Amino acid sequence: MPRVSQDQLDARRQEILAAARACFAQYGYEGATVRRLEEATGLSRGAIFHHFRDKESLFLAVAEDDAVEMTATVAEHGLVQVMRDLLARASDPDSAGWLGTQLEVARRLRTDPDFAQRWAAHDAAISGATQQRLQRQSSAGTLRDDVPLEVLTHFLELAYDGLVKRLAMGGDAGELGPVLDLIEETVRRR
């Protein structure tokens, strides 16, 4: 039997994550049955669950993948850039899965205490990256100094949550760019 390389295994894992992200976005966690996951990935359940212990592990891997990407973007470019990326993805049907994952995470945070406890570290990482980014902007003199950094962090997090909700309700992503400009101007030094 031919041996599969680690690169091939990693590529397959990423393919499964991408297909599962779209499936979870379309059907939600409960509706993304194993059969639907098989259809979305084009793989058997054995092939899927060779990489992930169960559906819960697969969903967590998708959500954690997104959280890592979000934290990296926040650290490098700020939370407003994450919001801009979300708007761009909302307009692209091939990227809509990311919004669905965010909505499913929000729902599970509200309804699943075990998930909320496991997710706390990811939430703290995103919040910490936001605060560090704001601190760097403050040190550079580009951030307003009349509002504490913690308040600005919460303001940006609430704006992000509101954007996710608006997009979930079918809001027009094209109309929200100027709103993000206003949010960005609000935290900058005048």
d(CA 41, CA 89): 21
**pLDDT, tens digit, 9 for 90 and up, residues 110-168:** 998 998 998 999 999 999 999 999 999 999 999 999 999 999 999 999 999 999 888 88
Structural domain boundaries in the chain: 6-187
What is the CATH architecture of 6-187?
A: Orthogonal Bundle (1.10)
**CA–CA distances in Å: residue 49 to residues 11, 12, 31, 38, 45:** 15, 12, 18, 10, 6
**pLDDT, tens digit, 9 for 90 and up, residues 77-89:** 999 999 998 888 8
**Residue found by looking up tokens 């098989």 in the block:** 38
The torsion angle over the Cα atoms of residues 179, 87, 105 and 7, rounded to 10 degrees, is -150
User: At 100, is the pLDDT very low, low, confident or very high (cuts 50, 70, 90)?
Assistant: confident
**CA–CA distances in Å: residue 142 to residues 148, 156, 170:** 14, 16, 34
pLDDT at 98 over 80: no
